[in-house]
Amino acid sequence: MQKKETIALEAVSKTYSQGAVAVHALGSISFKVHEGERVSIIGPSGCGKSTLLHILGLLDVPTGGKLFLDGTDVSTLDEQQLAHFRGRKIGFIFQSFFLIPTMDALSNVALPMMFYDVPEHARLHKAQLMLERLGMGDRLHHLPSELSGGQRQRVAIARALVNDPSVLLADEPTGNLDSRSGEEVLKIFDELSREGKTIIIVTHDPNIAKMSPRIIRLKDGNIESDEKKR
């Protein structure tokens, strides 16, 4: 049975103005991603990866075309609706983790639930369960500075998952990790994909990309190839 479409881009383009010069960051991008797919978006610096990531994450709006997330045309949402939709539907994982240094792992993971009026006891309970699932049950009250890179990324993944988003967007998620920690993070992504999470990894590393079942290559703001492994 065909799984539902989580993401659909229809002729999405993005043009920036730099004075009198128009910079075409994205040409006309169209693709669909289904529930449970794990996709790597790869390409050289300046190819449009970051722009595409920002549009997929509802952090920027396209100049042309449409983006559908879980069947909703996001261009129909106002700013408040968009912020709420983004917080519920999308989890972000970054190369630099972006954990709050003065908060322990448990509080970092619980933080996103504060914006949705989840009671404190429920926030902490769910955050603990998420950290325990990712093998961080013995590090609940450690500050980020007391954790290894791999452990900090696990906390960041738990934080991204805690609101049960449809989509995980990972920007160079293994870039600051040693090879062993990087492999562990990719195994977590495999497991989450099998459970139905849609995962999009943006990377310049072909070794990371080739571990994904699907690779979209960008060049000069356009899709150069879209390959699925059989």
Per-residue pLDDT of the chain (230 residues; tens, 9 = 90+): 567 899 999 999 999 887 788 888 999 999 999 999 999 999 988 899 989 999 999 999 999 999 999 999 998 888 888 888 898 899 999 888 899 999 999 999 999 998 888 999 999 999 999 999 999 999 999 999 999 999 999 999 999 999 999 999 999 998 888 888 888 998 999 999 999 999 999 998 888 888 899 999 999 999 999 999 86
Reading the block at residue 102, the tokens are 């003065």
pLDDT for res 2: 62
Domain ranges of the chain: 37-59+89-228
Question: How many CB atoms neighbour CB 69 within 10 A?
Answer: 21
Whether the Cβ atoms of residue 179 and residue 185 lie closer than 8 Å to each other: no
Q: Backbone dihedral region of 196: left (phi > 0), alpha (psi from -120 to 50 degrees) or beta?
A: left
- pTM (2 d.p.): 0.90
Cα separation, 218 vs 224, in Å, equals: 5
Contacts of 171 (CB under 8 A, 6+ apart): 50, 53, 92, 93, 94, 95, 202
pLDDT of residue 211: 86
Q: Is the CATH number 1.10.1040.10 carried by domain 37-59+89-228?
A: no
